[in-house]
Amino acid sequence: DPDLPRFRISEVRKHGADSENPWVIYEDKVYDITEWIPAHPGGQVILRAAGGSIDPYWNIFSIHKNQYVYDILAQYLIGYIDQADLVDGRPAQDEIEDPFADDPERDPLLITKTAKPRNAETPGEALSSQFLTPNELFYVRNHMWVPKIDEPASDKYLLTVELVDGTVKQYSLQDLKSKFPSHTITAVLQCSGNRRKHMTQGSGRSTNGLQWTAGAISNATWEGVLLSDVLADAGLEVSEALSGEGETKHVHFAGLEAYAASIPIKKAVDPQGDVLLAYSMNGKPLPRDHGYPLRSIVPGHVAARSVKWLNQITLSDEESTSQWQRKDYKCFGPNETKVDWDAAPAIQELPVQSAITEVKTGGWTKTAKGSSQGLGDQPAQQVTFGGYAYSGGGRSIIRVDVSTDNGKSWAQAYLLPDCVAKDGSPSPCQGHGAWSWRRWRFDTAVPLTSFREAQKAGSSEQVGCGDGDGDGAPTAAAAQSENRCTTVMVKATDDTYNTQPESHAATWNLRGNLATAWHRVQVCVDC
Ligand code: MTE
Ligand code: MO
């Protein structure tokens, strides 16, 4: 409609989130979205774009690239951007806001997968050198920008709790801290996509999602209040909920930037479940990247349920309708490439997992005469390796098996006593389940023949490594020649005797979720 008015961008800016009539720009058009806000499925989040261009937000929420969404927007058209503010028919680039402009600074040691939104994994060394991952090295998985909240969180930040009957109660951060006893647990968060890259490589099939290696997992101590205490205060009949009767079947968590997910009520009110509304991480206020000022922590479950920047809890008879609940975090058979999302349950408790995060080669030694490998008196390479093992649902790790000869023989790794009680029994560290990972180490001397055999693979070629002085260890000169490699691998078993699958091909799924096959790493020597 050419008769509609033209607006300068400076005029649109006055119609930001706090104004009576929020406007947005899409391409060269101006819309008054006042009436759309209450009806918008993402709720108030559309206000994030108010006073500016909606394009960069819609690039994040790809769901909007749909004709029906443009049709809705068309109803709110009020005019066009003034010619003076257009370059090639679009608002000048520097007038378009960067949704990520307020994101926090991050530690350069994190391994960045995508910068906007921020997705970064914990470096291998930091995964196993400490039991608790330092806050600044804890992996980051953001679907959108990091909401900006005044620090310290004022009473402007409110958590809203809504029961099935529509009753609403609100809590400031101060209310939560003063009304309810604090509770501390140590728990792993693991993304359902952890090790997705291993699945892609191991199966030789592509997967849809961030190609994480073994660092989309971290462990921290969380302090907060029990979700069940808050739900009881808000009016939920906890005993009824526990019995499985009653209308409340799911607890929805929504974050300030529109991310949302849910957990079954059973987990939420289980006295052994330890579900927290956490405000502290490793003794410090939650960092912005990890949900400041409040997040849910659902120990033993996939991290997608531990919702950051939590501002709304809704009790319901059904699961959250968000794509992160109904799609994305589900698995299917390796043959299923066109899937019925509704047919598969959402991932909640995680299966058993382990990974090798450090491998160090040391000096040369000899295998003992009559050693179990029957190789007595062979040159052998000292190798130390370590990593983590973890299982969901509070199940503890009972054993970690390692192989240094591509799975021909196995031995047991040493489990670090991070969570072991004084009487020697494996006890959960702070909490009612084994919510933390177990770190493990394995020191061994790998006979040279293991390296040779792995390399030989059927050929009769004999590879010489010795320098003739009788100890069999390769010299610097011999090391000039060729790399000889062997594959070391790890698998863990939890207290239900569930263990990891041998191959990624067996559990391949189009989203690359729950990549838990034996983790294999090549170790090479020069000889
Ligand atoms: N909560 C909000 N509000 N927004 C998000 O993007 N990502 C989820 C979960 N909670 C997410 C969220 C996913 S998929 C993961 S793996 C974890 O947060 C990551 O938590 P972290 O960044 O603290 O490691
Ligand atoms: Mo995730």
List, for residues 197-222, the tens digit of each pLDDT value: 999 999 999 999 999 999 999 999 99
C-alpha 117 – ligand 2 centre gap (Å): 13
Nearest Cα residue to atom 9 of ligand 1? 304
**What type of residue is 482?**
E
Write the DSSP assignment of 34-72 as a string of letters: TTTGGG-TTGGGGGGGTTSBSHHHHHHSGGG-SHHHHHH
| The pLDDT of residue 427 | 52
Write out pLDDT tens, residues 447-499.
888 886 655 443 333 334 444 444 445 544 444 345 688 899 999 999 999 99
Per-residue confidence band for 281, with pLDDT thresholds at 50, 70 and 90: very high
Q: Which atom of ligand 1 is nearest to the CA of 258?
A: 3
219 ligand 1 Cβ < 6 A: no
Per-residue confidence band for 69, with pLDDT thresholds at 50, 70 and 90: confident
Q: Which of 220, 223, 3, 204 is nearest to 122 (CA)?
A: 220
191 is annotated as an active-site residue: yes
Give the ligand whose atoms come closest to the C-alpha of residue 215: 1
Give the mean model confidence (pLDDT) for residues 429-455: 85
| The pLDDT of residue 479 | 41
520 is annotated as an active-site residue: no
Q: Is 444 exposed, middle or buried (0-12, 13-18, 19+ CB in 10 A)?
A: middle
141 is annotated as an active-site residue: yes
Residue 323 above 90 pLDDT? Answer: no
- Residue 95 DSSP SS3: helix
Nearest Cα residue to atom 24 of ligand 1? 140
26 is annotated as an active-site residue: no
Catalytic residue among 40, 90, 205, 520: 40
Q: Judge whether 512 and 519 are in contact, CB under 8 Å.
A: no
142 ligand 1 Cβ < 6 A: yes
Nearest Cα residue to atom 2 of ligand 1? 308
Indicate the range of 30-34, 194-198, 522-526 predicted with least confidence.
522-526
C-alpha 141 – ligand 1 centre gap (Å): 5
Give the mean model confidence (pLDDT) for residues 33-39: 84
Give the ligand whose atoms come closest to the C-alpha of residue 513: 2
Catalytic residue among 48, 118, 141, 484: 141
What percentage of the chain exceeds 70 in pLDDT? 87
524 is annotated as an active-site residue: no
Q: Judge whether 250 and 244 are in contact, CB under 8 Å.
A: no
C-alpha 518 – ligand 1 centre gap (Å): 26
Q: What is the C-alpha to C-alpha distance for residues 366 and 376, in angstroms, rounded to an integer?
A: 8
Q: Which atom of ligand 1 is nearest to the CA of 190?
A: 16
286 ligand 1 Cβ < 6 A: no
| The pLDDT of residue 476 | 44
C-alpha 391 – ligand 1 centre gap (Å): 19
Nearest Cα residue to atom 22 of ligand 1? 140
**What type of residue is 173?**
L
Q: What is the C-alpha to C-alpha distance for residues 332 and 513, in angstroms, rounded to an integer?
A: 9
Give the mean model confidence (pLDDT) for residues 88-114: 86
Query: Phi and psi for 60 in degrees, rounded to 5?
Result: -80, -45
| The pLDDT of residue 257 | 87
Write out the H or E segment, with its range, that includes residue 402.
Answer: strand 397-403
Give the mean model confidence (pLDDT) for residues 403-408: 90
**Is the dihedral angle over the CA atoms 155, 285, 428, 267 positive or is it negative?**
positive
Residues found in the chain: 527
Q: Which atom of ligand 1 is nearest to the CA of 289?
A: 22
Nearest Cα residue to atom 21 of ligand 1? 140
180 ligand 1 Cβ < 6 A: no
Q: Characterize the bridge pairing of strands 411-412 and 397-403.
A: antiparallel
Q: What is the C-alpha to C-alpha distance for residues 40 and 227, in angstroms, rounded to an integer?
A: 28
Q: Judge whether 248 and 317 are in contact, CB under 8 Å.
A: yes
Nearest Cα residue to atom 10 of ligand 1? 307
Nearest Cα residue to atom 16 of ligand 1? 191
Catalytic residue among 64, 183, 198, 305: 64
Give the ligand whose atoms come closest to the C-alpha of residue 305: 1
Token couple for 38: 């209450």
C-alpha 305 – ligand 2 centre gap (Å): 9
Q: What is the C-alpha to C-alpha distance for residues 231 and 233, in angstroms, rounded to an integer?
A: 5
253 ligand 1 Cβ < 6 A: no
254 φψ region: left (φ > 0), alpha (ψ -120 to 50), beta (else): beta
Where b means 16+ CB within 10 Å and e means fewer, 379-389 reads bbbebebbbbb
147 ligand 1 Cβ < 6 A: no
315 ligand 1 Cβ < 6 A: no
- For 455-463, the CB contacts below 8 A with 24+ separation are 455/484, 455/485, 463/527
C-alpha 291 – ligand 1 centre gap (Å): 8
189 ligand 1 Cβ < 6 A: yes
Query: Phi and psi for 456 in degrees, rounded to 5?
Result: -60, -45
118 ligand 1 Cβ < 6 A: no
57 ligand 1 Cβ < 6 A: no
Cβ-based neighbour number of residue 28 at 10 Å: 17
Give the mean model confidence (pLDDT) for residues 47-76: 80
Average pLDDT, the chain: 88
| pTM to 2 decimal places | 0.87
**Around ion ligand 2, which residues have CB less than 5 A away?**
141, 191, 304
Place of tokens 């008879």: 317
Nearest Cα residue to atom 8 of ligand 1? 304
Largest CA distance in the chain: 95
Write the DSSP assignment of 323-362 as a string of letters: HHHHSSS----TT-SS--GGGSPPP-B---EEEEEEEEEE
DSSP class of 371: -
**What type of residue is 94?**
D
